[in-house]
Amino acid sequence: MSANTANKKFSSEIVVLHGSPHNDSYTEKLTAAYLEQLESTAYVRHVDLFETRIKPCTDCKYCYKHDGCPLHDSFESIADKLDQADAIILSTPVYYLGFPAPFKAFIDRTQQLFVRRVLFKREKIANNKKGILICTCGGCDLSAVESLKAPAEMFFSVFGATLSETVYLAGTDLPPEKRRCNRIKLIEKEMSK
Ligand SMILES: Cc1cc2nc3c(=O)[nH]c(=O)nc-3n(C[C@H](O)[C@H](O)[C@H](O)COP(=O)(O)O)c2cc1C
């Protein structure tokens, strides 16, 4: 349990990084359904990466010689939250077998932490977090889901998290008769309420 949840009714703290540009979309519904079972025990913080507009890494190499980054935006405060959390959820649609641009920008900015913590070991990583990947993709080819796992694992490692669960919904862009995935029907029922 992290320090700032110790005196509250919650037993753990979760940070959700949201990568869909849409409210109420398949990705958001799937994530909300996943969180429903946890919200009574976990304190959940939400970060909308389309809103925060994190600047992209320019590979200036500043972080090889110094702690920190010359780019200034809300990256640091979000990274602090991820460090404090007990679990990190990446909630995202698949875009071209990868993360949407604002999400990728955030991931790339963790290079400063990768250099400091993993490459040069100037800072210790506490290995005790859960990493969860929640994603949706338009087609039914599950290689789209697989394509996010390696970058998600690398991202999680910087915060001492391991990918422990992948939740997905495939075929969101296909007409209903072409969907081979049954789980989507449950979500559609939820959405029509
Ligand atoms: C730019 C872009 C790239 C996409 N690339 C893929 C892809 O590589 N594979 C796939 O199955 N779906 C792809 N899709 C479809 C989305 O993953 C799918 O519509 C997703 O469910 C959207 O989620 P949302 O409505 O919750 O944002 C892409 C969509 C966009 C806009």
Nearest residue (by CA) to ligand 1, atom 3, is: 95
pTM to 2 decimals? 0.92
CA distance 143 to 183: 17
**Residue 157's Cα: distance from chain center in Å?**
13
CA of 137 relative to ligand 1 center, distance in Å = 5
Residue 60 CB less than 6 A away from ligand 1: no
Question: In the chain, where are the structural domains located?
Answer: 3-191
The tens digit of pLDDT for each residue in 62-121 reads 999 999 999 999 999 999 999 999 999 999 999 999 999 999 999 999 999 999 999 999
d(CA 26, CA 125): 34
Atom of ligand 1 nearest to the CA of 139: 11
CA dihedral 71, 75, 80, 86 (to 10 degrees): -150
pLDDT in tens, 139-159: 989 999 999 999 999 999 999
Distance 9 CA to ligand 1 centre (A): 38
Q: Measured between alpha carbons, how far is 103 from 85 in angstroms, rounded to an integer?
A: 19
Task: Name the token pair of 22.
Answer: 């849409």
Q: 3-191 architecture in CATH?
A: 3-Layer(aba) Sandwich (3.40)
Cα of 120 vs centre of ligand 1, distance in Å, is: 36
Helix spans in 66-182 (H): 75-84, 101-109, 111-113, 143-158
